Homo-oligomer: A and B are copies of this chain.
């Protein structure tokens, strides 16, 4: 399959990519040469001989996906995308790591055509690839001629040390994702030195334990072996890991050592490298014959692909289109239920309207109630199941959710206890950075978790999540707000949504119109009094406490539900004053850390929060212990009013 001419062109292209990537890094004065020199043959093989895609249509729905989990190899990726014909110009390459270029320091989806995922924080790229492969399997089962592609990932030693790769590889094995092919840049070196200083794991044996098919390529420069391994991997009925032995910084001055990882080459070293590689690259541009060869290979594959049948394509488009979703009605009986149970009811209603909706929990379906009742589990035996058993893998779930959202074609949710959102915070951050419209469902939202104690009681998580830029944190305080929050989450297209739901009852205050207003403006008055002396602001299950307190107070009181603090803060001052009249005392009740609420109360208001860890005891007793009772709060407010 590889004759001497094609081998010559292949070697020249690979070496030119190596040199080009290092020219970019040296021009920027920062970056990661090691991987670009070691892994260039892998990227070449993928783009020249494997990936089925069209560089002029980087969003084509049936393209093969490639995730560079080792995101510090960005220079190599950009150079390859340029060579492959994506809209990444030589000029762009020359602006590597410069402000507003499309070649930032680590790959960022949405910035660079051809980049499938934002990577750099190690381990997460593999999880996103798993999510993409799961989506492909699901859609392929339903629309076989529309969606039928492979998902590739390149991981390094650093990725494989991260725990999240354990979670997602185990999930991929259990799910038998046969069209997932993971290439492992096995170079025995990480940032601080030889891998064995901190890691002696037999990664091949490890991936076998997950149910992967595993192959070795003994020499990363052996293109035939690399090609053959990938061809074999495409035929297995398991996910594949191909461990490719490479030399970090090969051909460069620091080959085989950790110094190669992050040390840009100087001008003399670049010249020596060019000599060693026997190639020339001028003005960040590969030689025309190399470009032509690579682009022709890509084009030929794409043109040869099976076209979808028109009827299936039409069905796919209908399936994937997010329609305006109609709010379900909540009966009085449903409104009496716990927040998480109301959520379960709402999910069923929306699941009927949105066939593309699927999701699951990190082994907490029974508690989070995040389930589509009438559907089986999604797995190798039934790819149309709409419930995903993510396992006890919060972080892995987050990265998989990101991959599912990035793939497109479906709408997905993932659930766990709010306290355990800490495990997956790095994934939520990447949801936001990637504008991935993932729905996170976090239940058991504070000390009313009760007996499970402080480890399970989320006190700082609500405000912490609000701090992540680009995440909508919704804590509905009435039954109707639960429904509207879900509606808002389901129709979001460019940002993750966090739904924070109570373990216990919300109370039956509020109505649908107020709920619409609350989610639209961030807050709404659910009880309005003329000339109110107090604005009693609460979120989630504290809204019912606010209602009870307002009845005890001897002064007139507005009660405001504020399910979305961030959105409220972006309203005009007039709009804010309409909801929080400025001549009343602002009192906030939220069963979480108080820092941050001063944005509402200023220094003159009152914040009823919990600034310490919780306690193990029945919910009502814990609430009383922390002063979250009608009596205690009423007294605090009256005392503050007397001081005023």
Question: Which residues of A does B touch, CB under 8 Å?
Answer: 28-31, 71, 97-101, 104-106, 108, 118-123, 157-159, 161-167, 170-171, 173-174, 190-193, 196-206, 208-211, 258, 262, 361, 363-367, 377, 379, 389-393, 395-396, 419-420, 422-423, 425-426, 429-430, 432-433, 450-456, 459-460, 463-464, 466-470, 569, 593, 595-596, 598-599, 602-604, 611-613, 615-618, 621-622, 625
* B617 with A97: CB separation less than 8 A: yes
Minimal beta-carbon separation of A415 from chain B (angstroms): 11
* A162 with B393: CB separation less than 8 A: yes
* B593 with A598: CB separation less than 8 A: no
Q: What separation, in Å, do the CA atoms of A211 and B365 have in the docked complex? A: 35
* A166-B163, A390-B198 known; A452-B106 Cβ under 8 A: yes
* B613 with A470: CB separation less than 8 A: yes
* B118 with A455: CB separation less than 8 A: yes
Query: A191 — which chain B residues lie within 8 A by C-beta?
Result: 363-364, 366-367, 392
Query: A262 — which chain B residues lie within 8 A by C-beta?
Result: 366
Instruction: Give the one of A28, A31, A122, A450 with max B CB within 10 A.
Output: A122
* A361 with B426: CB separation less than 8 A: no
Q: What separation, in Å, do the CA atoms of A165 and B456 have in the docked complex? A: 19
* A108 with B163: CB separation less than 8 A: no
Query: A173 — which chain B residues lie within 8 A by C-beta?
Result: 200-201
* B99 with A615: CB separation less than 8 A: yes
* A211 with B200: CB separation less than 8 A: yes
* A392 with B158: CB separation less than 8 A: yes
* B453 with A106: CB separation less than 8 A: yes
Q: What separation, in Å, do the CA atoms of A536 and B106 have in the docked complex? A: 35
Q: What separation, in Å, do the CA atoms of A524 and B119 have in the docked complex? A: 40
Query: A599 — which chain B residues lie within 8 A by C-beta?
Result: 595, 598, 603
Which residue of chain B is the closest to A465 with respect to CB atoms?
A: B464
Which residue of chain B is the closest to A361 with respect to CB atoms?
A: B192
Query: A170 — which chain B residues lie within 8 A by C-beta?
Result: 161, 199-201
Other-chain residue from B377, B603, B616 in contact with A602 (beta carbon distance below 8 A) = B603
Across the A-B interface, the 7 shortest Cβ-Cβ residue pairs: A163-B163, A166-B166, A198-B391, A104-B616, A99-B617, A120-B455, A105-B453
* A171 with B198: CB separation less than 8 A: yes
Query: A367 — which chain B residues lie within 8 A by C-beta?
Result: 191
Q: What separation, in Å, do the CA atoms of A393 and B166 have in the docked complex? A: 12
- Besides the contacts A197-B379, A199-B391, what 16 more A-B pairs have beta carbons closer than 8 Å? A30-B451, A105-B452, A108-B616, A162-B163, A166-B166, A193-B389, A197-B377, A204-B209, A209-B209, A258-B366, A423-B425, A425-B425, A429-B460, A464-B468, A469-B613, A602-B603
* B100 with A615: CB separation less than 8 A: yes
Minimal beta-carbon separation of A190 from chain B (angstroms): 5
* B422 with A423: CB separation less than 8 A: no
Minimal beta-carbon separation of A34 from chain B (angstroms): 13
Query: A393 — which chain B residues lie within 8 A by C-beta?
Result: 161-163, 198
Query: A161 — which chain B residues lie within 8 A by C-beta?
Result: 167, 170, 363, 391-393
Could you name 15 residue pairs across A and B whose Cβ atoms are closer than 8 Å?
A98-B621, A101-B616, A157-B392, A162-B167, A163-B165, A163-B167, A170-B201, A198-B390, A198-B392, A198-B393, A205-B205, A206-B206, A206-B210, A433-B455, A433-B613
Q: What separation, in Å, do the CA atoms of A502 and B614 have in the docked complex? A: 33
Minimal beta-carbon separation of A412 from chain B (angstroms): 16
* A456 with B205: CB separation less than 8 A: no
Which residue of chain B is the closest to A611 with respect to CB atoms?
A: B469
Other-chain residue from B390, B419, B433, B602 in contact with A454 (beta carbon distance below 8 A) = B433
* A162-B167, A451-B31 known; A174-B198 Cβ under 8 A: yes
Minimal beta-carbon separation of A73 from chain B (angstroms): 13
Q: What separation, in Å, do the CA atoms of A366 and B260 have in the docked complex? A: 13
Minimal beta-carbon separation of A570 from chain B (angstroms): 10
* A121-B420, A364-B191, A469-B611 known; A456-B106 Cβ under 8 A: yes
Query: A464 — which chain B residues lie within 8 A by C-beta?
Result: 464, 467-468
* A97 with B616: CB separation less than 8 A: yes
Instruction: Give the one of A162, A164, A456, A468 with max B CB within 10 A.
Output: A162
Minimal beta-carbon separation of A176 from chain B (angstroms): 9
Q: What separation, in Å, do the CA atoms of A210 and B190 have in the docked complex? A: 18
Other-chain residue from B158, B199, B420, B469 in contact with A612 (beta carbon distance below 8 A) = B469
Query: A377 — which chain B residues lie within 8 A by C-beta?
Result: 197
Q: What separation, in Å, do the CA atoms of A395 and B167 have in the docked complex? A: 14
